Structure 1
Amino acid sequence: MDNILQIGDSFIEQNTIFSELIQELNQSFSNSNVIVPLRHHHDFPNPKVDSDSTLLLMPAWNPSKIAGVKIVTVSPENSQFDLPSIQGTYIYFDALKGSVKAIIEAKSLTVKRTAAASALASSYLSRKDSKSMLMIGTGALSINLIKAHVSVRPIENVYLWGRNINKAEAIAAELKNEKFNVYPIQSIEEKISEVDIVSCATLSKTPLVLGAYLKPGQHIDLVGAYRPTMREADDDTIKKTSVFIDTYQGGLKESGDIFIPLQSGVLKEKDIKADLFELCSNQKSGRKNNEEITLFKSVGHSLEDLTAATYYYNKFKNE
């Protein structure tokens, strides 16, 4: 037990280079020997805040090499305690011997790999000349999604909306020394029709991205709405876009953004263009032209966690 590495928030925050992490994910999705069972997803009552919380168990292993499992809780009402909604830990194993190699803080690992996966998708789906972005949501993912998207596209201006304008202003202040501009805005509608990329990471139960406001050539990145009863985009958005998902395994049933349109018949499974495995291995193509509106829905995948854990473990060992 003495040899188990402890990799915390501060190390992950200080040692993430999104271009590197995105490339690691690209390689993992394009040629992976990793076995990934369907994750365990358990909702449990939390009567003191009148809202369910969720326990997620996400295992993955590369036989005789490495393995890992992420144990995470999602508590949507944690803002009232001034705590992040996502908390947990990642246990990183030697898959040959079964010994624990490291315990990694899961919140930072999750937001980094989630943002990197969205940017990886964007590298296939957004226009290469994308210069503007609307970030919907001011949670832990927002800064990471902005930085990740900027690492793959020449984004100059970022517009940021959240239910609390003070949080948007604080994030803008935090990013004031970056090479791009960040502008807090009062409403989604004032910028959604103008930007090249729309990224949404919220716990909203009702759509925030409305198809009526979309324009040709945009890319929509949906990261929140992790339950079948939640959604960030309306049916009109689904009808107007070419839909891509991170994986068929979880993407078809874990989020209302895909599950609800599939159930109602607005979307057919055969109409989903590709997942990240197919995009990264060049089995299927991404954006076809500059007029197409593309949509990527992410629910997260244990392959991303294991890839990120390996990335941070190797950095920690080599520092």
Structure 2
Amino acid sequence: MLHLDANATAAPLGWPALIDALRRAFVEGCEVPLRHTHRVDDLEGRGGTVLLMPAWRPGHYLGIKTVTIFPGNTDRALPGLHSLYTLFDARTGVPLAQLDGNEITSRRTAAAAALAASFLARGDASRLLVLGSGRVAQHLAPAMRTVRPITQVRVWNHRPEGALALARQWRTDGIDAQAVTDLRSAVEQADIVSCATLAEAPLVRGEWLREGTHLDLIGSFTPRMRESDAACFSRSRVFVDTEEALAKSGDVLGAMAEGAFDAAQLQGTLAQLCRGERPGRTHEREITLFKAVGNALEDLAAAELVAGAMLAQ
């Protein structure tokens, strides 16, 4: 069995190729059981969450991702999320490779957001605001620039030094990027607002969203986590990566509890957008919202790209 480090895992996952692979995967589909979620408490009462996410295409590949999420790691100067991805032959069950799950997760998450934006953001969207400065956040500017003509990027983080560092990194890549501290003003000026945080209380307020904005909520993925208030949902046409979000997203559940949204108002899933079964943006003034909790289909599509590169060697 091969063991690929972060660099070897990331090398085949260029943005155009990965976004296209996700689009094809959502059109074709695969077997995706519900994820297993378990709480892991520590002696200090903080702890974290472990996720087990399997997916397979009969006759092709089987993949299983193991993810640990410990938000308190930020106080320890450690990433809040770690993961491993194991790829098997779906015909025999033989393990083929262990991939860097952090690269698989962060890149497919950003690519799924960009894929959704290709349907939901205005065609002329040029101003991107990123909330967060972690592994997923750092990929959002290049991923979004693949599908929309982004010329200006602003980044906000609850720790300002994180935003400053990420903006500096993007500038070295030739992107017009600046850190901001006034979140409301930054949201009001953005065409795309992309949230990639582990927040447990709303950051973005619906009243801040101007007409034509696309709001992207891809950080929170449990009922305890929330990046937006209920007004964001009441003002938007809402799409999700998978209907699992209706039961597991704190953003969705919070909006439901406050009477701002219900399942009947859901406009569609990412698969339905990719298959042309539901319309994306219908006019320039509407506000669109994409809520993602992650889908093992996305992991498998990314891992298959890596596998293809391995076999070509």
Q: TM-score range by the shorter chain?
A: over 0.9
1:83 and 1:179 map into 2 onto residues whose CA distance is 28
One-letter amino acid matched to 1:47:
L
Task: Give, in angstroms, the shift of residue 11 of structure 1.
Answer: 1.8
1:232 and 1:146 map into 2 onto residues whose CA distance is 19
Q: Counterpart in 1 of 2:311? A: 317
Task: Give, in angstroms, the shift of residue 241 of structure 1.
Answer: 0.6
1:88 and 1:179 map into 2 onto residues whose CA distance is 30
Q: Counterpart in 2 of 1:224? A: 219
2:301 and 2:230 map into 1 onto residues whose CA distance is 33
1:196 and 1:122 map into 2 onto residues whose CA distance is 11
Is it true that 1:44 corresponds to 2:40 in the alignment?
yes
One of 56, 67, 75 as aligned partner of 2:70: 75
2:75 and 2:201 map into 1 onto residues whose CA distance is 21
2:42 and 2:112 map into 1 onto residues whose CA distance is 30
Number of residue pairs aligned between Structure 1 and Structure 2: 313
Q: Counterpart in 2 of 1:253? A: 247
Q: Counterpart in 1 of 2:265? A: 271
1:164 and 1:79 map into 2 onto residues whose CA distance is 10
Q: Counterpart in 2 of 1:22? A: 19
Q: Counterpart in 1 of 2:156? A: 161
Task: Give, in angstroms, the shift of residue 180 of structure 1.
Answer: 2.7
Q: Counterpart in 2 of 1:128? A: 123
- Give CA-to-partner distance per residue, 1:228-247, whole Å, 9 cap, x none: 12211101111101100001
Is it true that 1:66 corresponds to 2:66 in the alignment?
no
One-letter amino acid matched to 1:6:
H
Q: Which moved more, 1:167-176 or 1:238-247?
A: 167-176
1:30 and 1:292 map into 2 onto residues whose CA distance is 26
One-letter amino acid matched to 1:16:
L
One-letter amino acid matched to 2:37:
H
What are the within-5 Å matches in structure 2 for residues 58-207 of structure 1?
A: 58-207=53-202
Task: Give, in angstroms, the shift of residue 106 of structure 1.
Answer: 0.5
Is it true that 1:6 corresponds to 2:3 in the alignment?
yes
1:288 and 1:102 map into 2 onto residues whose CA distance is 43
Task: Give, in angstroms, the shift of residue 196 of structure 1.
Answer: 0.3
Unpaired runs of 5+ residues, structure 2, are none
CA contact (8 A) 1:110 1:305 kept: yes
TM-score (norm 1): 0.95
CA contact (8 A) 1:155 1:180 kept: no
The DSSP-based 3-state class of the residue aligned with 1:259 is helix
Aligned Cα RMSD in Å? 1.2
Percentage of pairs with the same residue: 35
One-letter amino acid matched to 2:33:
P
The DSSP-based 3-state class of the residue aligned with 1:73 is strand
One-letter amino acid matched to 1:271:
Q
One-letter amino acid matched to 2:38:
H
2:288 and 2:234 map into 1 onto residues whose CA distance is 11
Q: Counterpart in 2 of 1:242? A: 237
2:171 and 2:10 map into 1 onto residues whose CA distance is 18
Unpaired runs of 5+ residues, structure 1, are none
Q: Counterpart in 1 of 2:283? A: 289
2:183 and 2:312 map into 1 onto residues whose CA distance is 44
Q: Counterpart in 2 of 1:299? A: 293
Q: Classify 1:52/1:255 alpha carbon distance in 2 versus 1 (closer, same or farther; 3 Å).
A: farther
1:266 and 1:189 map into 2 onto residues whose CA distance is 21
1:183 and 1:60 map into 2 onto residues whose CA distance is 39
Task: Give, in angstroms, the shift of residue 138 of structure 1.
Answer: 1.1
Task: Give, in angstroms, the shift of residue 179 of structure 1.
Answer: 4.0
The DSSP-based 3-state class of the residue aligned with 2:93 is coil
The DSSP-based 3-state class of the residue aligned with 2:78 is coil
